[in-house]
Amino acid sequence: MSASRSIRLLAPLFVASLVAAMAPVSAIAPADLEARPTKRTTCSSAGEVCFLMEPRPARERPHGGRGHAYRYVKGRKQVLWRVEGWYAFRVLLSDDGRYLVRLGNWPRGQRPSESHLAVAFYDNGELLAEYSTRALIEDDSKVRPSSSHYTYRAHDGELSLVVGDTEKGELPLSFEFSTIDGIRYRFDVTTGEIVARSPPASEESAGAESPASSDLTPPEREG
pLDDT tens over the chain, length 223 residues: 554 554 454 445 444 444 444 444 334 445 566 778 899 999 999 999 999 999 987 665 556 899 999 999 999 999 999 999 999 999 999 999 999 999 998 888 778 899 999 999 999 999 999 999 999 999 999 988 888 888 888 886 788 999 998 888 889 999 999 999 999 999 999 999 999 999 876 554 333 333 344 344 455 544 4
177: part of which helix (H) or strand (E)?
A: strand 173-178
Which residues share a beta bridge with 92?
101
Do the domain assignments include residue 55? yes
Do the domain assignments include residue 131? yes
Do the domain assignments include residue 196? yes
CB 125, CB 81: distance < 8 Å = yes
Edge to edge, the sheet with strand 161-163 lists 161-163, 173-178, 184-188, 194-198
Do the domain assignments include residue 187? yes
Do the domain assignments include residue 10? no
Write down the pTM of the prediction: 0.75
- Give the tens place of pLDDT for each residue, 19-42: 444 444 334 445 566 778 899 999
181: nearest Cα among 141, 218, 209: 141
Sign of CA dihedral 147, 150, 155, 54: negative
Do the domain assignments include residue 123? yes
8: part of which helix (H) or strand (E)?
A: helix 3-27
Do the domain assignments include residue 20? no
Do the domain assignments include residue 47? yes
Could you give the number of structural domains in the chain?
1
- Give the tens place of pLDDT for each residue, 156-166: 678 899 999 88
Q: Which domain holds residue 153?
A: 40-207
